[in-house]
Amino acid sequence: MPTDVPTESAAVRLAPQAALEFGVAALQRIGFAAEEAGIIAAHLVDSELCGYPALGLARILTVAEHARMREPRRAPVIVHETPVSAQIDGGNFTGLYSVYRASEIAIEKARAGGFALVGLHNSWLSGRNAYYLEKIARAGFAGIHLACSRPVVVPHGGRAPALGTNPIAFALPGTPDPVVFDMGTSATNHGDVILAGRLGELLPEGVAVDAQGLPTRDPQAALQGGILPFGGAHAHKGYGLSFTIQAMGLLAGAAMPYGQVQDFGFLFVVFNPALLMPVEKFQQELASLIERVKATPRQPGVDEIRIPSEQAFRTRATRRIDGFTLERRIYDRIAAL
What's 75-187+228-295's CATH class?
A: alpha beta
In this structure, whether the domain defined by 1-65+309-337 belongs to CATH 1.10.1530.10 is answered with yes
pLDDT at 8 over 80: no
Q: Positive or negative CA dihedral for 125, 127, 133, 139?
A: negative
pLDDT at 146 over 60: yes
Burial of residue 299 (number of CB atoms within 10 Å: 0-12, 13-18, 19+): exposed
pLDDT at 24 over 80: yes
CA distance 148 to 72: 22
- For 34-84, write each residue's pLDDT tens digit: 999 999 999 999 999 999 999 999 999 999 999 999 999 999 999 999 999
> Which of 128, 106, 122, 159 minimizes the C-alpha distance to 272?
106
> Domains of the chain: which residue ranges?
1-65+309-337, 75-187+228-295
Q: Give the model's confidence band at 3: pLDDT under 50 very low, under 70 low, under 90 confident, else very high.
A: very low
Length in residues, the chain: 337
pLDDT at 7 over 70: no
Residue 10: what pLDDT? 84
pLDDT at 210 over 80: yes
Contact in structure between 55 and 44 (CB atoms under 8 Å): yes
Residue 9: what pLDDT? 58
Task: Kindly report the three-state secondary structure assignment for every residue of the chain.
Answer: CCECCCCCCCEEEECHHHHHHHHHHHHHHCCCCHHHHHHHHHHHHHHHHHCCHHHCCCHHHHHHHCHHHHCCCCCCEEEEEECCEEEEEEEEEEHHHHHHHHHHHHHHHHHHHCEEEEEEEEEECCCCHHHHHHHHHHCCCEEEEEEECCCCECCCCCCCCCECCCCEEEEECCCCCCEEEEECCECCCHHHHHHHHHHCECCCCCCEECCCCCECCCHHHHHHCEECECCHHHHHHHHHHHHHHHHHHHHCCCCCCCCCCCCCEEEEEEECHHHCCCHHHHHHHHHHHHHHHHCCCCCCCCCCCCCCCHHHHHHHHHHHHHCEEEEHHHHHHHHCC
Residue 98: what pLDDT? 98
Residues 6+ apart with CB under 8 A from 167: 129, 146, 147, 182, 183, 184, 185, 245
Query: Is the bond preceding residue 2 a cis peptide, omega within 30 degrees?
Result: no
pLDDT at 279 over 80: yes
DSSP strand pairing (115-124 vs 85-94): parallel
Contact in structure between 245 and 146 (CB atoms under 8 Å): yes
State the chain's mean pLDDT as an integer: 96
- For 284-330, write each residue's pLDDT tens digit: 999 999 999 999 999 999 999 999 999 999 999 999 999 999 999 99
- For 243-253, write each residue's pLDDT tens digit: 999 999 999 99
Q: What percent of the chain stands above pLDDT 90?
A: 97
pLDDT at 4 over 60: no
pLDDT at 6 over 60: no
